[in-house]
Amino acid sequence: MRLSNYFLPVSKEAPADASIVSHQLMLRTGMIRQNGAGIYSWLPLGLRVLKRIEQIVREEMDRSGAIEMLMPTLQQADLWRESGRYEAYGKEMLRIKDRHDREMLYGPTNEELITDVFRAYVKSYKQLPLNLYHQQWKFRDEVRPRFGVMRGREFLMKDAYSFDLTEEGARAAYRKMFCAYLNAFDRMGLTAIPMRADTGPIGGDLSHEFIILADTGESAVFCDRELLALGAPGLDLDFNSDLVPVVEQRTRYYAATEEMHDAAAFDALPDERRVSARGIEVGHIFYFGTKYSAPMNAVVQGPDGQMVPVQMGSYGIGVSRLVGGIIEASHDENGIIWPDAVAPFPVGIINMRAGDAACEEACVSLYTQFAKAGIEALYDDTDDRAGAKFARMDLIGLPWQIVVGPKGLEKGVVELKRRKTGEKIEVSAEEAVRRITG
């Protein structure tokens, strides 16, 4: 992409009402534009990151055996009356009437809708286990939308729903999601800590939140330092194997959000192991058994011929929240530092003398070599001042920068910079391509 052809409305100053760094940086880099409280347009740079996160989530859901589909944003109120949540959900739910005066709502979550899909088609335990997911916009009329995309009213969520005949089966499905979540967050360059959690309006008796640590996190969190060092199960995990030990290894340490905090248990840990910090919830998983299937009559025939309500769990990831969460976890005073896996472009090419034939030729050659390797570079071909180009490239945080100038070209070199470390080296153009693609 040539910057002169792109739409990248960066600005020097962040609006005064953006109080946290991810919100400021997303506005300054032209990733999002606010439309109303908690409602944003995703501009081209922001959309690229959102899509990359979505793709990682998709790959890890698929690897775990979940199956992608897509449900609508607008739902019929009647389904929610069946589960009893239409009244219970309160003001967070945006209620709408269509031209026939039928009551509808913009989905804040999809347990009812998926249960309706399930009961229409699945009648026998032989069709189980099943885990269906989608990535779809949600609307929650939050009392206090704030921190940009971190607490929006309209936001993108991945939500998965598991169906099993038995409680044991449902707990196994829960463990698969638990592991898939750790792998997905790890791929995004994040350390996510699973913490026992309250189930709130979703319901059920088993629930974990996945929290990333950041000073600006909305909730206080407490955990054992040893848990932080454990890491994700890894992409070679066999999801058909017994995952009990993998989950147990990560749930036996102290880890709790404010609501679930047990000060006495935490204080019993040795000083050096006590981590008291703030965190951002990027995922939340629930096992709730028959909470929806029983009232909605989603029943399946078991091997003994008996019809029983199906055992369910639901599993959410805040896809749009993650964009802000990753910036909170990875930035410096000059701007964003994208982890390679989610960067909007892997590399930026800066032409120090736009209009100079040799510089233009060298940049285009680099650009083409990247394209051949399946990498789309962002080529700054504008005639802005050098300082402005450097500052902008640092601000948008692409993992690699290549600076092409006439002096270097005379020596046969370009400057390669790693955004994360600030390290700069002079290498041949071929070597720069090799390091980035290799």
Residues that bind ligand 5CA (CB under 6 A): 109, 111, 140, 142, 151-152, 155, 157, 159, 202, 281-284, 286, 314-316, 318, 320-321
Our CB check for ligand 5CA shows the closer of 186 and 281 to be 281
Q: Find the residue with minimal CB distance to ligand 5CA.
A: 318
Instruction: Please provide the DSSP assignment of 288-318 as one string.
Output: EETTTTTTTT-EEE-TTS-EEEPEEEEEEEE
Whole-number Å distance between alpha carbons of 233 and 422:
31
State the nearest-atom distance from the C-beta of 157 to ligand 5CA, in Å.
5
Our CB check for ligand 5CA shows the closer of 257 and 369 to be 257
Whole-number Å distance between alpha carbons of 292 and 113:
10
Our CB check for ligand 5CA shows the closer of 85 and 392 to be 85
Our CB check for ligand 5CA shows the closer of 286 and 390 to be 286
State the nearest-atom distance from the C-beta of 144 to ligand 5CA, in Å.
10
Our CB check for ligand 5CA shows the closer of 125 and 139 to be 139
Our CB check for ligand 5CA shows the closer of 291 and 321 to be 321
State the nearest-atom distance from the C-beta of 434 to ligand 5CA, in Å.
38
Instruction: Write the CB contacts of 369 (distance below 8 Å, at least 6 apart in sequence).
Output: 429, 430, 433
Whether residue 292 contacts residue 298, with contact meaning beta carbons closer than 8 Å, is answered with yes
Backbone angles phi, psi at 245, to 5 degrees: -65, -35
Instruction: Write the CB contacts of 263 (distance below 8 Å, at least 6 apart in sequence).
Output: none
Whole-number Å distance between alpha carbons of 423 and 438:
18
Our CB check for ligand 5CA shows the closer of 312 and 404 to be 312
State the nearest-atom distance from the C-beta of 111 to ligand 5CA, in Å.
6
Our CB check for ligand 5CA shows the closer of 111 and 381 to be 111
Based on the number of CB atoms within 10 Å of its own CB, is 335 exposed (0-12), middle (13-18) or buried (19 or more)? Answer: buried
Our CB check for ligand 5CA shows the closer of 23 and 321 to be 321
Instruction: Write the CB contacts of 238 (distance below 8 Å, at least 6 apart in sequence).
Output: none
State the nearest-atom distance from the C-beta of 24 to ligand 5CA, in Å.
18
Give whole-number Cα distances, 57 to 109, 170, 318, 322, 398, in Å: 18, 21, 10, 11, 21
State the nearest-atom distance from the C-beta of 140 to ligand 5CA, in Å.
5
State the nearest-atom distance from the C-beta of 10 to ligand 5CA, in Å.
24
Our CB check for ligand 5CA shows the closer of 112 and 394 to be 112
Please give the structure tokens belonging to residue 158.
């991945």
Our CB check for ligand 5CA shows the closer of 23 and 284 to be 284
Q: Which residue has the tokens 């009244």?
A: 87
Whether residue 313 contacts residue 177, with contact meaning beta carbons closer than 8 Å, is answered with yes
State the nearest-atom distance from the C-beta of 106 to ligand 5CA, in Å.
13
State the nearest-atom distance from the C-beta of 28 to ligand 5CA, in Å.
20
The number of beta carbons lying within 10 Å of the beta carbon of residue 201 is 12
State the nearest-atom distance from the C-beta of 86 to ligand 5CA, in Å.
16
Whole-number Å distance between alpha carbons of 173 and 150:
28
Instruction: Write the CB contacts of 329 (distance below 8 Å, at least 6 apart in sequence).
Output: 189, 190, 212, 213, 214
DSSP, res 12: S
State the nearest-atom distance from the C-beta of 125 to ligand 5CA, in Å.
24
22 closest CA partner among 277, 283, 220, 216: 216
